[in-house]
A and B are shown apart, each in its own frame.
Chain A
Amino acid sequence: MPDLPRKKVGLIACSGEERAEGTVTRRAVRQVLEKLRPDDTVTLCLPLFLAGGEGERAFARRYPTIAVDGCDERCAARATERYSARPAASIVVTEIAKESGSPDIGTARRLNGSGLRLADTAAARIAGETDRLLQRPRRRITEPAAAAGGCSCGSGLPQGTLRISGSDVRVAGLPIIFAQARERGLEPNAGTAAVLLETVGIYNEVPADRKQAWTDALIQGYAGFLEEKG
């Protein structure tokens, strides 16, 4: 059973297709998600900020984020700040490359050995920032590989649907949240609804003026989930 921790750090890679450093950001972020800090991180999708991903905006407003940029244009950091909230940390690959002396790292399509090593260094830096933001003691960066890391667009967090005020609303993480509540033996009552609402609010935008509607839908949805599971 996958677990939803109370707090995660959102990682936003610029993924810039014009520069090899953009590819380094992708590789470094995936490394943190898959191997270094799989339980503590999710990815936030940069283009979704503009394309209407309210889930990404909501997450970044409430939880710490690390922007990982390929160059000093800092698209990921600036987009996060513009559409949501200022990132808690910002990492720029060209700066790391300068420190580590990696002038030739390959192309955006194919990194060479130096590029791969640069991605390792950037990943270690991201993992360190994650520990700092979560106030965790620094850990060794070489840890066993875990399951694929979570992605806020839904690849890591399964989505469910709630019927809220007559409309179907996609809710990130809903099946896992319901499953965990069931595992804890929670009944579909007002107390449980408050817990569910708080957890759902980590991954979704719950408008302040619609909390009651969400609460009602969560109780109803959870009751249906329990019935289905027997």
Chain B
Amino acid sequence: MTVSPEDVRHIARLARLELTDEEVEQFRRELSTILAYVEKLEELEAGSAAEPERPDQPLREDTLAEWPDVVPLHEAAPDFEAGFFRVPRVIE
């Protein structure tokens, strides 16, 4: 498995990670090594192994409940004002 610097930059864009040139080279090398190891799964013949069976998960009733105190939730945000999370301008 060979990963190119372009692959690394493309993946970083999808993941919203900003990488330095050194990191691009480092991840190119490391991703190649790790993915080559993961490719050992190819040794196994394709089969029809089903997804593991899980017991039924009963759904709870969809009832409204009030959160006891919303203020700490607002306070956890870096920038919260008048009921809104504030972010930098999106549209020019």
Whether both chains belong to one complex is answered with no
